[in-house]
Structure 1
Amino acid sequence: MRSERRKNRKWLKITGILFLVLVIGVGVYGYSVYKSFKTAVNTMHEPIKRKHSEKRETPIEVSKKDPFSVLMLGVDQRGNDRGRSDTIIVLTVNPNNNSIKMLSIPRDTRTEIIGKGKQDKINHAYAFGGVPMAIDTVENFLDIPIDYYIQVNMEGFKDIVDAVGGVTVRNDLDFSYDGFHFAKGEISLTGEEALAFARMRKEDPRGDFGRQTRQRQIIQAVINEGASLSTLTNYSSIFNALGKNVKTNLTFDEMVNIQKNYKQVGQNIEQMEIKEQGTKINGIYYGIVSNEEKQRIQNELKAQLELNLQASN
Structure 2
Amino acid sequence: MVNIGYTMMTEQCGPRQLVDDLVRAEHAGFDFSVISDHYSPWIGAQGHASYAWAVLGAAAQATSRIPLMTYVTCPTFRYHPAVVAQKAATVQLLSEGRFRLGLGSGENLNEHIVGGGWPSAGVRQEMLVEAVEIIRALFGGGYVTRRGKHFDVESAKLWDLPEQPPPIGLAVSGEKSCALAGRLADLVVAVQPDRALIDSFDRHGGAGKPSVGQVPVCYDPDRGAAVARAHDQFRWFGGGWKVNAELPGPAGFTAASAYVRPQDVAGSIACGDSVEEFVEAVRPYAEAGFTEVALIQIGGESQRAFLDWAESRLLPALRGL
Instruction: State the TM-score bracket (shorter-chain normalisation).
Output: under 0.3
Calculate the TM-score normalised by the size of structure 2.
Answer: 0.26
Identify the structure with the greater strand proportion.
1
Calculate the TM-score normalised by the size of structure 1.
Answer: 0.26
